[in-house]
Structure 1
Amino acid sequence: MAVVCVDAGTTMIKAVGYAPDGAELAVVRRATEVARPEPGHAEQDMASVWHAVADAVRAVTAEIGGGVDLVALTAQGDGAWLVDGDGAPTGPAILWNDGRAAPIVAGWAASGVLEEAFRVNGSLTFAGLPNAILTWLREHDPDRLARSAASLTCGGWIFSRLTGEIAADGSDASAPFTDIARRRYSDALLGLYGMEWARRLLPEQRGDDRRAAPLTAPAADGLGLPPGIPVVLAPYDIASTAIGVGAVDTGQSCTILGTTLCTETVVDAPRLTGEPSGLTVAMGLPGRYLRAFPTLAGGQVVDWACRLLGLFIPADLAELAARAPVGADGLVFLPYLSPAGERAPFLDPHARGAFHGLTVDHEREHIARAVLEGLSLVVRDCLSAAEARPTELRVSGGGSASPVWLRMLADVIGVPVVRSADSEAGARGAFIAGLLATGRAGDAREAADAYVRPGDTYEPDPGRAAHYAEAYQDFLAVRTATASAWPTLADLRARGA
């Protein structure tokens, strides 16, 4: 028998076939489009995402020759994927990296709502969370809200197409309406945001022991799978990826070098004190949470730099960066390039990127190195915000294919960086979650030891690590100085609109 696992990312759908022993049998990928109908908006056609998932599952099932007896899925989180009473979309999905609700979030921040909510929820609201998006829709598209019966995430949407059930995984539902210590929706949080009216849109939260539902006959017929086999709604992508790289014990840390640059640390209880920052996510494992810091701009910064420098693929950027000296001859890059600003490890919808120290002496290789150093310093910044002290950093995602970047990251963080040997660590995590949910594996640590595949390890160089320890302080100082100009730049953009 075999297991098919889906990882529905923001720009790519991945379907992976696994043998019962965890051997990877086949991988199929299908690209998806993100529409940006207006500046700061990020949307996806929900039907198109489902069709891409179905096509990938059909293809991987055919490649492994059938015999599938379990499906597990993970997906991008946050956003608002609204459906009506029949489970049909009421419009395009509004994604996690959409920035249209930034003024709403700014108002909550100014009034103290965000800090008060953090003390209950453990996550700092940003424009791509459903509280902000639904409030924006109430102001700008109330008819769509009236036609909607549930606000799902991408994983919940796909699960509904496979099983006919409307539900949310506990990780997906962690922010923004959940009392994270009690693991249930909080009427107090809804009231704090002035959103009592949204209670009817919140799907049932499935506990860690209720992740599975049977595949419906219509879905099975369309996918070429047996009807009735269990479909497991695994934790959403950042949590599944942590599981997939083996970060399941308290104190372990990992980073996803993907569309988002997500750095996360496993903790045994929510931390609701201190400066509000990042997300607290129920990991889907007993007594385990993630302090997660997913940036709004990660891999897309690498793609932007490639376009800027006339390069074809990210590997070209890393090769070019390797030609420049450590520190890029004083060139400092702030990689806050998302039109929605930044959400991790700080929240500022006005945050913008910049090169500092640029002179005519700097060449293309300096720019390339400054970009990768800036992104690496953000990872260090996120670990600092999490108060993490890892002995190693496990990494996955497209960026982990670059030895140049991983060596740099080890130097910047100052601990060994361990690359996942899996082509799709999120799918691997969904596989493990599927085994746990269906009783095919017992303990998460034992399952990780049995099925996770670590790859190459990159050790930090002591000399370069010492340089980057100082460079990190310089990075923070440059950001602090630059941040004072962000409101002025926002005013300039507003006047130019």
Structure 2
Amino acid sequence: MAIICVDAGTTVIKAVGYDSSGAESYVARRETTVSRPAPGHAEQDMDAVWAAVADTVREVAARMGERGSHESGTVESGTVESGTVESGTVDFVAVTAQGDGCWLVDAGGEPTGPAILWNDARAAATVDAWTRSGLAAAAFRLNGSSAASGLPHAILTWLGANDPGRLDRSHANLTCGGWIFSRMTGQLVADESDASAPFMDLRARAYSAELLAMFGLEWAGRLLPEVRSCPVAELSADAAATLGLPAGTPVVMAPYDIAATALGAGAVSPGQACGILGTTLCTEVIVGSPDLDGDPTGITIALPGGYLRAFPTFAGTEVVQWTCRLLGLDGPAELGELALQSPPGANGLAFLPYLSPAGERAPFSDPLARGALHGMSFEHGREHVARAVLEGLTMVIRDCLAATGAAPTELRASGGGSASATWLAMIADVTGLPVRRPADAEVGARGAYLVGLAATGAAPSVAAAAAEHVRLRDAVEPDPGRKARYARLFDDFLTLRGADAGTWPLLADMRGRA
């Protein structure tokens, strides 16, 4: 058995090859570009994303083909073309990708313009109006998700007012995963995770005409692709030639990246929690049924056999990278080392990490939210700023964990930020939970791998596949003294945010006059 899994993130696309034991064999990576043609806009060239996917898959397929020709003893050198894999050697390809946004295509499956991404802020004013009118909260009672400017209802509303011609040319609104799946199979579909927000009635697991009407988007129903629980289709002949794989290879559309990462970290049963330290800080917990009656914050994602309650923020490792640039550091490792030179609490310095032009979406939704560094004086140095930034991001994780309403006994940590021992220790201290990292380097791809096993019948369920293939590192335990200190600092963090929130409309007005 050999398997290839694609994890198409916002800035990096990866293809991972797995051998017959389920171990990672090869990883290929390509960076992608996010363009910002106007303030608040975040777009990607859809064809460029597909080209990057094709490059990574082709590279992994070639490496796996080389390995197969060397190991089998039955395939002569030169009988498998460079960049191809012998028929039958790849059991399936599974795809996970960034979620949300609008990836519009025409009836032939071709893009009608650039993809508008999940972190796009052009519709922030629309979302603000929905939130203040109570419309967003009312919709939450059906779809379990708060409104955000990068969700399809907000983007489609903006396009309807500003680019109706593009909508006229469009036949289907896909996600990144749906776009890649369509390129591989020719089918325009959505899996349940991608369809969950904002138009799905979660209890019915189907699109809701009521939700479309609530947002004045009845006309957009024609753009919604067919929803399947876990789409599986054959690799087309054209895609096979592009990817260097046999035509007919099964292609599995796994849940989108934040859900796939939770699964890949082994969070597969109700009550198990995962924190993704990536472009978004996403704190999430598996639940057996959707809670549509609580605070209208976060998102709820339908999964095979259950749901994921998730709080994906706009504040994540981009904040870390911004801080490194500001402080003249080479990267996150240096930031962690510098932070250790400051005591917990950063000598009275507190950081609100809401730096995204789109504001914040979890665990509260406010497109006007902005960051702040409180308590600055001549007594503070670079080490205090470094510590305050990591503490501010970690307070957000605790804030989101509290919003889930769950009481997990440990937190699985993944994403690029989980490589920082300093940050993991801080997360354990702030949340009061043991923190464990998966042994896999590519956790999102591992989640797609598990879903693919279940979807193709190679495993009885995702949970069974996880029990066999997910391995965890030793836990990072919270320090009792620092845990108590951070409990008080968390209350201070919430107090400061509440005070700052009153200034956000004024700051928005000031930006508008700039």
TM-score, length-normalised on structure 1?
0.98
1:310-329: per-residue Cα shift (whole Å, max 9, x none)? Answer: 01111111111111111101
* Aligned residue identity for 2:456: T
Distance in 1, Cα, partners of 2:430 & 2:43: 34
Q: Which amino acid aligns with 2:347?
A: D
Alignment of 1:443 with 2:461, yes or no, is yes
| Counterpart for residue 234 of structure 1 | 254
Is the Cα–Cα contact under 8 Å of residues 28 and 60 in structure 1 kept in the other structure? yes
Matched residue, 2:277: 257
Matched, 1:244 2:264: yes
**CA separation in 2, counterparts of 1:343 and 1:86?**
34
Tell me how far apart the structure 2 counterparts of residues 262 and 14 of structure 1 sit (CA, whole Å): 20
**Residue 161 of structure 1 corresponds to which residue in structure 2?**
183
Query: Structure 2 CA distance, aligned partners of 1:312 and 1:73?
Result: 32
Aligned runs of 1:379-418 on 2, under 5 Å? 379-418=397-436
Please name the residue that 1:125 is paired with: 147
Deviations 1:30-80 (A, max 9, x none): 100000111111000000000000000011111222322210000000000
Deviations 1:299-357 (A, max 9, x none): 10000000000011111111111111111011100000000000000000000000001
* Alignment partner, residue 330 of structure 1: 348
Q: Aligned-pair distance for 1:456?
A: 3.3
The question of whether the paired residues in 2 share the 8 Å contact of 1:244 and 1:452 is answered with yes
**C-alpha distance in structure 1 between counterparts of 2:173 and 2:137, whole Å:** 24
Q: Determine the structure 1 residue equivalent to 2:7.
A: 7
Deviations 1:268-299 (A, max 9, x none): 0000112210000012x21x111100001201
Corresponding residue for residue 375 of structure 1: 393
CA distance in 2, matches of 1:33, 1:415: 36
**Cα distance in 2, alignment partners of residues 75 and 214 from structure 1:** 19
Measure the CA separation in 1 of the matches of 2:96 and 2:33. Answer: 18
Q: What secondary structure sits across from 2:91 in the alignment? A: strand
Counterpart residue identity of residue 199, structure 1: G
Q: For the Cα contact (< 8 Å) 2:191–2:255, is it kept in 1?
A: yes
Partners in 1 of 2:475 and 2:14 — Cα distance?
25
- Say if 1:421 and 1:456, in contact at 8 Å, map to a contact too: no
- State the distance in 1 between where 2:224 and 2:160 align: 15
- Structure-1 separation of matches of 2:309 and 2:412: 15
Tell me the secondary structure at the aligned position of residue 357 of structure 2: coil
Map of 2:48 onto structure 1 = 48
Aligned to 2:444: 426
- Do the aligned residues in 1 keep the contact of 2:453 with 2:462 (CA within 8 Å)? no
Q: Is the 8 A contact 1:315 1:402 kept in 2?
A: yes
Equivalent residue letter for 2:7: D
Structure 1 residue ranges (4+ consecutive) displaced by more than 6 angstroms after TM superposition? none
Alpha-carbon distance in structure 2 between the residues aligned to 1:194 and 1:334: 35
CA displacement, residues 404-428 of structure 1 (integer Å, 9 cap, x when unaligned): 1100110000010001211110000
Deviation at 1:458, TM superposition (A): 0.4
Letter aligned with residue 316 of structure 1: E
Report the residue type matching 1:486 in the other structure.
Answer: W
For residues 319 and 60 of structure 1, what CA distance do their matches in structure 2 show? 35
Residues 247-326 of structure 1 correspond to what in structure 2 (within 5 A)?
Answer: 247-283=267-303, 285-286=304-305, 288-326=306-344
Corresponding letter in the other structure for 2:260: S
1:175–1:279: 8 Å Cα contact kept in structure 2? yes
Contact residue 121 and residue 149 of structure 2 kept, 8 A: yes
* Paired residue secondary structure (1:362): coil
Task: Report the AA paired with residue 60 of structure 2.
Answer: V
- The answer as to 2:508 corresponding to 1:490 is yes
Contact 2:362–2:400 (8 Å) recurs in 1 = yes
Q: Distance in 1 between matches of 2:355 and 2:280?
A: 12
Contact 2:5/2:93 (<8 A) preserved: yes
User: What are the equivalent positions in structure 2 for 1:74-89 lying under 5 Å apart?
Assistant: 74-89=96-111
TM alignment of 1:127-142, pairs within 5 A: 127-142=149-164
Stretches of structure 1 that go unaligned for 5 or more consecutive residues are none
Identity of aligned residues (%): 64
* Counterpart-to-counterpart distance in 1, 2:326 and 2:62: 40
**2-structure distance, mates of 1:185, 1:31:** 34
Q: Is the 8 A contact 2:315 2:393 kept in 1?
A: no
Question: Would the aligned equivalents of 1:69 and 1:226 in 2 still touch at CA under 8 Å?
Answer: no
Q: Find the structure with the greater CA-based Rg.
A: 2
Matches of 1:34 and 1:297, distance apart in 2? 17
Please give the secondary structure, in 2, of the residue aligned with 1:280.
strand
1:178-202 alpha-carbon deviations (Å, 9 max, x no partner): 0011100000000000100000000
Aligned-residue Cα RMSD (Å) equals: 0.8
Give me the whole-angstrom Cα distance separating, in 2, the residues matched to 1:238 and 1:92. 23
SS at match of 1:266: strand
Structure 1 position 111, deviation (Å) = 2.1
Does 2:189 correspond to 1:189? no
Preserved CA contact (<8 Å) 1:420 1:456? no
Aligned AA for 1:381? D
SS in 1 for 2:148: coil
Gap regions ≥5 residues in structure 2: 66-84
- Tell me, in whole angstroms, the C-alpha distance in 2 between the residues paired with 1:397 and 1:216: 32
Q: Alignment length, in residue pairs?
A: 492
Deviation sequence 1:407-459 (CA, Å, 0-9, x none): 01100000100012111100000000000000000132221110112123200
Residues 22-41 of structure 1 aligned to structure 2 (within 5 Å): 22-41=22-41
Deviation at 1:207, TM superposition (A): 1.8
Amino acid at match of 1:356: H
Q: 1:224 aligns with which of 244, 250, 269?
A: 244
Structure 1 letter corresponding to 2:131: A
Q: Which amino acid aligns with 1:243?
A: L
SS in 2 for 1:368: helix
Determine the C-alpha separation between the residues in 2 that align with 1:275 and 1:435: 36
Q: Distance in 2 between matches of 1:162 and 1:349?
A: 36
- Does 1:110 pair with 2:132? yes
